Structure 1
Protein backbone atom coordinates (compact mmCIF):
# COMPACT_ATOMS: atom_id res chain seq x y z
CA UNK A 1 0.00 0.00 0.00
CA UNK A 2 0.94 3.69 -0.09
CA UNK A 3 2.37 3.71 3.47
CA UNK A 4 4.65 0.79 2.70
CA UNK A 5 5.85 2.41 -0.52
CA UNK A 6 6.70 5.58 1.42
CA UNK A 7 8.66 3.55 3.97
CA UNK A 8 10.63 1.81 1.24
CA UNK A 9 11.44 5.13 -0.42
CA UNK A 10 12.64 6.53 2.89
CA UNK A 11 14.90 3.52 3.43
CA UNK A 12 16.39 3.89 -0.04
CA UNK A 13 17.05 7.59 0.52
CA UNK A 14 18.97 6.73 3.70
CA UNK A 15 20.98 3.98 1.99
CA UNK A 16 22.01 6.36 -0.80
CA UNK A 17 22.66 9.45 1.31
CA UNK A 18 25.95 11.21 0.39
CA UNK A 19 27.22 10.85 3.98
CA UNK A 20 26.67 7.09 3.91
CA UNK A 21 28.19 6.69 0.45
CA UNK A 22 31.28 8.69 1.48
CA UNK A 23 32.25 5.90 3.89
CA UNK A 24 32.22 3.21 1.21
CA UNK A 25 35.39 1.98 -0.46
CA UNK A 26 35.82 1.58 -4.23
CA UNK A 27 33.08 3.99 -5.24
CA UNK A 28 32.58 4.26 -8.97
CA UNK A 29 34.00 7.25 -10.84
CA UNK A 30 30.55 7.84 -12.31
CA UNK A 31 29.01 8.08 -8.85
CA UNK A 32 31.67 10.51 -7.67
CA UNK A 33 31.30 12.72 -10.74
CA UNK A 34 27.50 12.72 -10.45
CA UNK A 35 27.59 13.71 -6.78
CA UNK A 36 30.11 16.45 -7.58
CA UNK A 37 27.79 17.71 -10.32
CA UNK A 38 24.87 17.86 -7.88
CA UNK A 39 26.98 19.66 -5.28
CA UNK A 40 28.10 22.25 -7.84
CA UNK A 41 24.45 22.86 -8.69
CA UNK A 42 23.74 23.58 -5.03
CA UNK A 43 21.52 20.52 -4.52
CA UNK A 44 20.91 19.67 -0.86
CA UNK A 45 22.08 16.32 0.54
CA UNK A 46 18.46 15.23 0.94
CA UNK A 47 17.74 15.88 -2.73
CA UNK A 48 21.06 14.28 -3.75
CA UNK A 49 19.90 11.04 -2.14
CA UNK A 50 16.58 11.25 -3.96
CA UNK A 51 18.35 11.92 -7.26
CA UNK A 52 20.50 8.83 -6.73
CA UNK A 53 17.39 6.70 -6.16
CA UNK A 54 16.05 7.99 -9.49
CA UNK A 55 19.33 7.07 -11.18
CA UNK A 56 19.25 3.62 -9.60
CA UNK A 57 15.70 3.07 -10.82
CA UNK A 58 16.40 4.36 -14.33
CA UNK A 59 19.60 2.39 -14.90
CA UNK A 60 18.78 -0.91 -13.19
CA UNK A 61 15.04 -0.93 -13.74
CA UNK A 62 14.84 0.22 -17.35
CA UNK A 63 18.00 1.16 -19.25
CA UNK A 64 19.84 -2.07 -18.40
CA UNK A 65 17.00 -4.36 -19.51
CA UNK A 66 16.44 -2.20 -22.62
CA UNK A 67 20.08 -2.63 -23.66
CA UNK A 68 19.79 -6.39 -23.05
CA UNK A 69 16.78 -6.74 -25.36
CA UNK A 70 18.30 -4.55 -28.10
CA UNK A 71 21.49 -6.63 -28.20
CA UNK A 72 19.57 -9.92 -28.05
CA UNK A 73 17.26 -8.91 -30.91
CA UNK A 74 20.31 -7.91 -32.97
CA UNK A 75 22.14 -11.17 -32.27
CA UNK A 76 19.06 -13.17 -33.26
CA UNK A 77 18.63 -11.15 -36.48
CA UNK A 78 21.93 -11.14 -38.42
CA UNK A 79 20.65 -8.82 -41.16
CA UNK A 80 19.63 -6.23 -38.56
CA UNK A 81 23.02 -6.54 -36.83
CA UNK A 82 24.78 -6.06 -40.18
CA UNK A 83 22.66 -2.96 -40.89
CA UNK A 84 23.49 -1.43 -37.50
CA UNK A 85 27.20 -2.20 -37.90
CA UNK A 86 27.05 -0.67 -41.38
CA UNK A 87 25.64 2.48 -39.83
CA UNK A 88 28.21 2.56 -37.02
CA UNK A 89 31.35 2.17 -39.13
CA UNK A 90 31.08 5.57 -40.87
CA UNK A 91 30.40 7.12 -37.46
CA UNK A 92 33.74 5.83 -36.18
CA UNK A 93 35.51 7.78 -38.90
CA UNK A 94 33.98 10.99 -37.55
CA UNK A 95 35.46 10.46 -34.09
CA UNK A 96 39.12 11.42 -33.79
CA UNK A 97 39.89 8.87 -31.11
CA UNK A 98 40.93 5.19 -31.02
CA UNK A 99 38.05 2.85 -30.27
CA UNK A 100 39.95 1.45 -27.27
CA UNK A 101 39.96 4.91 -25.68
CA UNK A 102 36.42 5.84 -26.60
CA UNK A 103 34.01 6.30 -23.71
CA UNK A 104 31.23 8.32 -25.34
CA UNK A 105 29.94 9.65 -28.63
CA UNK A 106 28.98 13.26 -29.37
CA UNK A 107 25.22 13.83 -29.18
CA UNK A 108 25.08 14.90 -32.83
CA UNK A 109 26.45 11.48 -33.80
CA UNK A 110 23.91 9.68 -31.61
CA UNK A 111 21.14 11.71 -33.24
CA UNK A 112 22.24 10.56 -36.72
CA UNK A 113 21.56 6.83 -36.39
CA UNK A 114 18.16 6.08 -37.96
CA UNK A 115 18.80 2.33 -38.15
CA UNK A 116 19.73 2.02 -34.48
CA UNK A 117 16.81 4.32 -33.63
CA UNK A 118 14.48 1.94 -35.45
CA UNK A 119 15.92 -1.12 -33.69
CA UNK A 120 15.54 0.56 -30.29
CA UNK A 121 12.00 1.71 -31.04
CA UNK A 122 10.94 -1.80 -32.08
CA UNK A 123 12.65 -3.36 -29.07
CA UNK A 124 10.84 -0.99 -26.70
CA UNK A 125 7.55 -1.72 -28.45
CA UNK A 126 7.94 -5.40 -27.69
CA UNK A 127 9.28 -5.22 -24.15
CA UNK A 128 7.83 -2.12 -22.41
CA UNK A 129 4.88 -2.58 -20.05
CA UNK A 130 4.67 0.46 -17.75
CA UNK A 131 2.04 1.55 -15.28
CA UNK A 132 0.46 4.90 -16.21
CA UNK A 133 -0.79 7.01 -13.30
CA UNK A 134 -3.02 10.06 -13.43
CA UNK A 135 -4.56 12.32 -10.80
CA UNK A 136 -8.28 12.98 -11.26
CA UNK A 137 -8.72 16.77 -11.13
CA UNK A 138 -12.51 16.91 -11.69
CA UNK A 139 -15.42 14.53 -11.10
CA UNK A 140 -15.89 12.62 -14.33
CA UNK A 141 -17.25 9.50 -15.97
CA UNK A 142 -14.80 7.27 -17.85
CA UNK A 143 -16.51 5.32 -20.66
CA UNK A 144 -15.00 1.99 -21.72
CA UNK A 145 -14.95 0.44 -25.17
CA UNK A 146 -17.23 -2.42 -23.99
CA UNK A 147 -19.96 -0.01 -22.86
CA UNK A 148 -19.15 0.04 -19.15
CA UNK A 149 -18.63 3.37 -17.40
CA UNK A 150 -16.65 4.20 -14.26
CA UNK A 151 -17.29 7.23 -12.06
CA UNK A 152 -14.11 8.95 -10.90
CA UNK A 153 -13.96 11.49 -8.08
CA UNK A 154 -11.81 14.59 -7.94
CA UNK A 155 -8.72 13.73 -5.91
CA UNK A 156 -8.67 10.04 -6.86
CA UNK A 157 -5.45 8.58 -8.21
CA UNK A 158 -5.97 6.48 -11.31
CA UNK A 159 -3.56 3.68 -12.17
CA UNK A 160 -3.76 2.36 -15.72
CA UNK A 161 -2.01 -0.83 -16.69
CA UNK A 162 -2.39 -1.58 -20.38
CA UNK A 163 -1.70 -5.33 -20.23
CA UNK A 164 -2.55 -5.28 -23.92
CA UNK A 165 -0.92 -1.94 -24.68
CA UNK A 166 -1.18 -0.27 -28.11
CA UNK A 167 2.21 -1.55 -29.20
CA UNK A 168 1.06 -5.15 -28.58
CA UNK A 169 -2.56 -4.77 -29.76
CA UNK A 170 -3.13 -7.31 -32.60
CA UNK A 171 -5.62 -4.92 -34.20
CA UNK A 172 -2.79 -2.41 -34.65
CA UNK A 173 0.21 -4.71 -35.16
CA UNK A 174 -1.38 -7.72 -36.83
CA UNK A 175 2.05 -8.53 -38.23
CA UNK A 176 4.94 -7.52 -35.93
CA UNK A 177 6.98 -6.57 -39.00
CA UNK A 178 4.24 -4.36 -40.43
CA UNK A 179 3.24 -1.08 -38.85
CA UNK A 180 -0.01 0.64 -39.83
CA UNK A 181 -0.68 2.66 -36.67
CA UNK A 182 -4.42 2.52 -37.41
CA UNK A 183 -7.33 0.97 -35.52
CA UNK A 184 -10.90 0.81 -36.80
CA UNK A 185 -9.76 2.98 -39.71
CA UNK A 186 -8.50 5.77 -37.46
CA UNK A 187 -4.88 6.77 -37.05
CA UNK A 188 -3.78 6.47 -33.41
CA UNK A 189 -2.13 9.38 -31.66
CA UNK A 190 -0.22 7.06 -29.31
CA UNK A 191 0.59 3.88 -31.23
CA UNK A 192 3.47 3.01 -28.89
CA UNK A 193 3.86 4.24 -25.31
CA UNK A 194 7.08 2.90 -23.77
CA UNK A 195 7.61 6.26 -22.03
CA UNK A 196 3.99 6.88 -21.02
CA UNK A 197 1.90 9.55 -22.75
CA UNK A 198 0.73 13.13 -22.48
CA UNK A 199 2.18 15.64 -20.03
CA UNK A 200 3.39 12.86 -17.74
CA UNK A 201 5.78 11.20 -20.18
CA UNK A 202 9.10 10.14 -18.68
CA UNK A 203 11.14 13.34 -18.35
CA UNK A 204 14.39 11.39 -18.66
CA UNK A 205 13.53 9.60 -21.91
CA UNK A 206 16.06 11.60 -23.95
CA UNK A 207 18.82 10.76 -21.49
CA UNK A 208 17.74 7.11 -21.39
CA UNK A 209 17.69 6.79 -25.19
CA UNK A 210 21.13 8.37 -25.52
CA UNK A 211 22.56 6.15 -22.76
CA UNK A 212 21.20 2.96 -24.32
CA UNK A 213 22.54 3.94 -27.75
CA UNK A 214 25.93 4.83 -26.25
CA UNK A 215 26.16 1.43 -24.57
CA UNK A 216 25.07 -0.55 -27.63
CA UNK A 217 27.44 1.43 -29.85
CA UNK A 218 30.45 0.85 -27.59
CA UNK A 219 29.71 -2.87 -27.21
CA UNK A 220 29.38 -3.39 -30.96
CA UNK A 221 32.40 -1.19 -31.72
CA UNK A 222 34.69 -3.03 -29.31
CA UNK A 223 33.46 -6.62 -29.44
CA UNK A 224 32.38 -9.33 -31.84
CA UNK A 225 29.39 -11.07 -30.28
CA UNK A 226 27.51 -14.26 -31.06
CA UNK A 227 24.96 -16.44 -29.34
CA UNK A 228 26.42 -19.68 -28.01
CA UNK A 229 23.22 -21.37 -29.21
CA UNK A 230 22.16 -19.61 -32.46
CA UNK A 231 18.65 -21.08 -32.28
CA UNK A 232 18.09 -20.11 -28.64
CA UNK A 233 14.52 -19.18 -27.80
CA UNK A 234 13.73 -15.70 -26.60
CA UNK A 235 13.50 -15.83 -22.79
CA UNK A 236 10.06 -15.34 -21.32
CA UNK A 237 9.29 -12.21 -19.33
CA UNK A 238 9.62 -12.18 -15.56
CA UNK A 239 5.91 -11.64 -14.85
CA UNK A 240 6.62 -10.05 -11.47
CA UNK A 241 8.02 -7.07 -13.40
CA UNK A 242 4.79 -6.24 -15.24
CA UNK A 243 3.94 -2.58 -14.79
CA UNK A 244 7.40 -1.39 -13.73
CA UNK A 245 8.64 -0.25 -17.14
CA UNK A 246 10.87 -2.51 -19.21
CA UNK A 247 10.27 -6.20 -18.79
CA UNK A 248 13.17 -8.32 -17.56
CA UNK A 249 14.00 -11.82 -18.83
CA UNK A 250 13.40 -14.91 -16.74
CA UNK A 251 16.96 -16.09 -17.34
CA UNK A 252 20.29 -15.13 -18.88
CA UNK A 253 21.23 -15.78 -22.50
CA UNK A 254 24.85 -17.00 -22.87
CA UNK A 255 26.95 -15.24 -25.52
CA UNK A 256 30.49 -15.60 -26.83
CA UNK A 257 32.51 -12.44 -27.34
CA UNK A 258 36.00 -11.32 -28.30
CA UNK A 259 37.72 -7.97 -28.63
CA UNK A 260 37.56 -6.68 -32.19
CA UNK A 261 40.95 -6.40 -33.93
Structure 2
Protein backbone atom coordinates (compact mmCIF):
# COMPACT_ATOMS: atom_id res chain seq x y z
CA UNK A 1 0.00 0.00 0.00
CA UNK A 2 1.34 3.45 -0.84
CA UNK A 3 2.07 6.15 1.68
CA UNK A 4 -0.70 8.32 0.21
CA UNK A 5 -3.24 5.57 0.92
CA UNK A 6 -2.05 5.37 4.52
CA UNK A 7 -2.50 9.09 5.17
CA UNK A 8 -5.62 9.82 3.13
CA UNK A 9 -8.88 9.41 5.08
CA UNK A 10 -11.26 6.65 4.11
CA UNK A 11 -14.51 8.39 3.15
CA UNK A 12 -17.70 6.48 3.82
CA UNK A 13 -21.22 7.66 3.06
CA UNK A 14 -24.34 6.02 4.45
CA UNK A 15 -28.06 6.42 3.96
CA UNK A 16 -30.65 7.20 6.66
CA UNK A 17 -31.58 4.21 8.77
CA UNK A 18 -28.25 2.43 8.34
CA UNK A 19 -26.17 2.17 11.51
CA UNK A 20 -22.47 1.92 10.58
CA UNK A 21 -21.20 2.33 14.17
CA UNK A 22 -19.94 -1.24 14.70
CA UNK A 23 -17.93 -1.22 11.47
CA UNK A 24 -16.53 2.24 12.14
CA UNK A 25 -15.45 1.12 15.60
CA UNK A 26 -13.57 -1.87 14.18
CA UNK A 27 -11.92 0.37 11.58
CA UNK A 28 -10.70 2.80 14.25
CA UNK A 29 -9.31 -0.06 16.33
CA UNK A 30 -7.66 -1.79 13.39
CA UNK A 31 -6.36 1.25 11.47
CA UNK A 32 -5.83 4.04 14.02
CA UNK A 33 -3.46 5.84 11.63
CA UNK A 34 -6.15 6.20 8.94
CA UNK A 35 -9.08 8.47 9.83
CA UNK A 36 -12.53 7.47 8.63
CA UNK A 37 -14.87 10.29 7.64
CA UNK A 38 -18.56 9.42 7.88
CA UNK A 39 -21.27 11.36 6.00
CA UNK A 40 -25.00 10.69 5.88
CA UNK A 41 -26.59 11.34 2.50
CA UNK A 42 -30.14 10.90 1.15
CA UNK A 43 -30.66 7.44 -0.34
CA UNK A 44 -31.19 8.90 -3.81
CA UNK A 45 -27.93 10.89 -3.63
CA UNK A 46 -25.58 8.09 -2.58
CA UNK A 47 -24.73 6.89 -6.10
CA UNK A 48 -23.98 10.41 -7.31
CA UNK A 49 -21.66 11.05 -4.37
CA UNK A 50 -19.76 7.84 -5.06
CA UNK A 51 -19.44 8.39 -8.80
CA UNK A 52 -18.43 12.00 -8.23
CA UNK A 53 -15.46 10.94 -6.13
CA UNK A 54 -16.82 12.47 -2.93
CA UNK A 55 -16.63 9.10 -1.14
CA UNK A 56 -14.71 5.86 -1.42
CA UNK A 57 -17.60 3.54 -0.52
CA UNK A 58 -21.14 3.73 0.75
CA UNK A 59 -23.67 1.82 2.82
CA UNK A 60 -26.59 2.13 0.43
CA UNK A 61 -29.96 0.66 -0.40
CA UNK A 62 -30.23 -1.65 -3.37
CA UNK A 63 -30.61 -1.66 -6.28
CA UNK A 64 -27.54 0.08 -7.66
CA UNK A 65 -26.27 0.16 -11.24
CA UNK A 66 -24.12 -2.97 -11.39
CA UNK A 67 -22.55 -1.77 -14.63
CA UNK A 68 -20.57 0.81 -12.67
CA UNK A 69 -20.81 -0.33 -9.03
CA UNK A 70 -19.58 -3.34 -7.15
CA UNK A 71 -21.87 -4.22 -4.26
CA UNK A 72 -21.93 -6.66 -1.37
CA UNK A 73 -25.46 -7.23 0.06
CA UNK A 74 -25.37 -7.06 3.85
CA UNK A 75 -28.91 -7.60 5.12
CA UNK A 76 -32.60 -7.25 4.29
CA UNK A 77 -34.85 -5.10 6.44
CA UNK A 78 -38.32 -5.88 7.69
CA UNK A 79 -41.06 -3.62 6.34
CA UNK A 80 -43.43 -2.02 8.85
CA UNK A 81 -46.42 0.31 8.85
CA UNK A 82 -46.19 3.38 11.08
CA UNK A 83 -49.51 4.32 12.71
CA UNK A 84 -50.85 6.37 15.63
CA UNK A 85 -50.93 4.44 18.90
CA UNK A 86 -54.73 4.39 18.89
CA UNK A 87 -54.99 2.92 15.37
CA UNK A 88 -57.03 -0.27 14.96
CA UNK A 89 -54.08 -2.30 13.61
CA UNK A 90 -52.26 -1.97 16.94
CA UNK A 91 -54.53 -4.75 18.20
CA UNK A 92 -52.72 -7.32 16.02
CA UNK A 93 -49.11 -8.53 15.83
CA UNK A 94 -48.77 -8.05 12.07
CA UNK A 95 -50.67 -6.31 9.31
CA UNK A 96 -51.53 -7.31 5.74
CA UNK A 97 -51.98 -4.84 2.87
CA UNK A 98 -55.70 -5.62 2.91
CA UNK A 99 -55.92 -4.34 6.49
CA UNK A 100 -54.96 -0.88 5.18
CA UNK A 101 -57.61 -0.73 2.46
CA UNK A 102 -59.51 2.09 4.16
CA UNK A 103 -56.41 4.07 5.21
CA UNK A 104 -54.63 6.88 3.40
CA UNK A 105 -51.17 5.48 2.81
CA UNK A 106 -48.60 8.25 2.49
CA UNK A 107 -45.97 7.88 -0.24
CA UNK A 108 -43.03 10.26 0.33
CA UNK A 109 -40.85 11.28 -2.59
CA UNK A 110 -37.81 9.73 -0.91
CA UNK A 111 -39.51 6.34 -0.45
CA UNK A 112 -36.97 3.49 -0.64
CA UNK A 113 -39.44 0.65 -1.27
CA UNK A 114 -40.13 -0.60 -4.78
CA UNK A 115 -43.92 -0.76 -5.02
CA UNK A 116 -45.90 -2.18 -7.89
CA UNK A 117 -49.11 -0.97 -6.25
CA UNK A 118 -49.22 0.87 -2.94
CA UNK A 119 -51.95 -0.47 -0.63
CA UNK A 120 -54.72 1.71 0.80
CA UNK A 121 -55.91 5.02 -0.57
CA UNK A 122 -53.46 7.59 -1.99
CA UNK A 123 -53.02 11.02 -0.46
CA UNK A 124 -53.77 14.15 -2.51
CA UNK A 125 -50.03 14.86 -2.73
CA UNK A 126 -46.83 13.11 -1.83
CA UNK A 127 -44.83 14.39 1.15
CA UNK A 128 -41.34 15.57 0.24
CA UNK A 129 -39.55 13.41 2.78
CA UNK A 130 -40.11 10.49 5.11
CA UNK A 131 -39.73 12.89 8.04
CA UNK A 132 -42.58 15.00 6.65
CA UNK A 133 -44.73 11.89 6.23
CA UNK A 134 -44.13 10.91 9.85
CA UNK A 135 -45.42 14.32 10.94
CA UNK A 136 -48.58 13.74 8.90
CA UNK A 137 -49.09 10.34 10.51
CA UNK A 138 -48.80 11.99 13.92
CA UNK A 139 -51.43 14.50 12.81
CA UNK A 140 -53.82 11.64 11.96
CA UNK A 141 -53.73 12.22 8.21
CA UNK A 142 -52.60 8.75 7.15
CA UNK A 143 -50.21 5.87 7.73
CA UNK A 144 -46.69 5.26 6.42
CA UNK A 145 -44.90 2.12 5.21
CA UNK A 146 -41.12 2.10 5.65
CA UNK A 147 -38.20 -0.22 6.48
CA UNK A 148 -37.95 -0.89 10.20
CA UNK A 149 -34.78 1.18 10.59
CA UNK A 150 -36.54 4.30 9.30
CA UNK A 151 -39.46 3.74 11.68
CA UNK A 152 -36.94 3.64 14.52
CA UNK A 153 -35.03 6.64 13.19
CA UNK A 154 -38.21 8.76 13.19
CA UNK A 155 -39.65 7.33 16.39
CA UNK A 156 -42.22 9.39 18.26
CA UNK A 157 -43.95 8.61 21.54
CA UNK A 158 -47.38 9.03 19.95
CA UNK A 159 -46.64 6.60 17.10
CA UNK A 160 -45.96 2.88 16.87
CA UNK A 161 -45.41 0.34 14.10
CA UNK A 162 -46.38 -3.19 13.10
CA UNK A 163 -44.76 -5.63 10.63
CA UNK A 164 -46.40 -5.56 7.20
CA UNK A 165 -46.67 -8.84 5.30
CA UNK A 166 -46.58 -9.23 1.51
CA UNK A 167 -44.72 -5.96 1.06
CA UNK A 168 -41.48 -5.09 -0.75
CA UNK A 169 -38.37 -5.12 1.41
CA UNK A 170 -35.27 -2.93 1.42
CA UNK A 171 -31.81 -4.48 1.09
CA UNK A 172 -28.73 -2.70 2.42
CA UNK A 173 -25.35 -3.18 0.74
CA UNK A 174 -21.80 -1.92 0.74
CA UNK A 175 -21.17 -0.38 -2.69
CA UNK A 176 -18.28 1.39 -4.40
CA UNK A 177 -17.32 2.34 -7.98
CA UNK A 178 -15.98 -0.79 -9.63
CA UNK A 179 -13.06 1.07 -11.19
CA UNK A 180 -12.04 2.55 -7.82
CA UNK A 181 -11.44 -0.57 -5.74
CA UNK A 182 -8.64 0.72 -3.50
CA UNK A 183 -6.80 -1.08 -0.72
CA UNK A 184 -8.84 0.95 1.77
CA UNK A 185 -12.03 -0.32 0.20
CA UNK A 186 -10.69 -3.88 0.44
CA UNK A 187 -9.91 -3.25 4.11
CA UNK A 188 -13.46 -2.12 4.80
CA UNK A 189 -14.87 -5.08 2.87
CA UNK A 190 -12.92 -7.31 5.22
CA UNK A 191 -14.47 -5.58 8.22
CA UNK A 192 -18.08 -5.84 7.06
CA UNK A 193 -17.48 -9.50 6.16
CA UNK A 194 -16.17 -10.18 9.66
CA UNK A 195 -12.61 -11.05 8.72
CA UNK A 196 -9.98 -10.91 11.42
CA UNK A 197 -7.13 -8.40 11.26
CA UNK A 198 -4.68 -11.05 10.01
CA UNK A 199 -6.94 -12.17 7.18
CA UNK A 200 -7.84 -8.76 5.74
CA UNK A 201 -5.94 -7.15 2.90
CA UNK A 202 -3.99 -3.91 3.03
CA UNK A 203 -2.51 -2.82 6.34
CA UNK A 204 -2.92 -6.32 7.71
CA UNK A 205 -0.15 -7.43 5.33
CA UNK A 206 2.76 -6.47 7.62
CA UNK A 207 1.53 -9.03 10.12
CA UNK A 208 1.51 -11.61 7.34
CA UNK A 209 5.02 -10.53 6.31
CA UNK A 210 6.23 -11.18 9.86
CA UNK A 211 5.19 -14.81 9.53
CA UNK A 212 8.14 -15.93 7.33
CA UNK A 213 10.57 -14.38 9.81
CA UNK A 214 8.97 -16.31 12.65
CA UNK A 215 9.15 -19.46 10.58
CA UNK A 216 12.86 -18.90 9.95
CA UNK A 217 13.47 -18.51 13.66
CA UNK A 218 11.52 -21.65 14.36
CA UNK A 219 13.64 -23.43 11.72
CA UNK A 220 16.79 -22.16 13.41
CA UNK A 221 15.62 -23.58 16.71
CA UNK A 222 14.89 -26.91 15.09
CA UNK A 223 18.38 -27.27 13.59
CA UNK A 224 20.14 -28.39 16.82
CA UNK A 225 17.41 -30.99 17.31
CA UNK A 226 17.85 -32.26 13.77
CA UNK A 227 21.61 -32.36 14.25
CA UNK A 228 21.20 -34.20 17.52
CA UNK A 229 19.01 -36.77 15.86
CA UNK A 230 21.61 -37.17 13.11
CA UNK A 231 24.40 -37.52 15.70
CA UNK A 232 22.41 -40.11 17.59
CA UNK A 233 22.02 -42.06 14.37
CA UNK A 234 25.74 -41.93 13.74
CA UNK A 235 26.52 -43.08 17.25
CA UNK A 236 24.12 -45.98 16.81
CA UNK A 237 25.70 -47.01 13.52
CA UNK A 238 29.22 -46.55 14.88
CA UNK A 239 28.62 -48.82 17.83
CA UNK A 240 27.42 -52.15 16.58
CA UNK A 241 27.27 -53.64 20.07
CA UNK A 242 25.08 -50.79 21.29
CA UNK A 243 22.69 -51.31 18.41
CA UNK A 244 22.64 -55.05 18.97
CA UNK A 245 22.05 -54.65 22.68
CA UNK A 246 19.07 -52.37 22.06
CA UNK A 247 17.72 -54.70 19.44
CA UNK A 248 18.31 -57.76 21.67
CA UNK A 249 16.49 -56.09 24.53
CA UNK A 250 13.48 -55.37 22.36
CA UNK A 251 13.44 -58.94 20.99
CA UNK A 252 13.88 -60.49 24.44
CA UNK A 253 10.78 -58.93 25.99
CA UNK A 254 8.20 -61.00 24.07
CA UNK A 255 10.02 -64.23 24.99
CA UNK A 256 9.93 -63.29 28.68
CA UNK A 257 6.15 -62.59 28.44
CA UNK A 258 5.66 -66.07 26.90
Q: Greater Rg, structure 1 or structure 2?
A: 2
Which of the pair has the greater relative contact order for Cα pairs under 8 Å at 6+ separation? 2
Return the TM-score normalized by structure 1.
0.21
Give the structure with the higher percent helix: 1
Give the structure with the higher percent strand: 2
Return the TM-score normalized by structure 2.
0.21
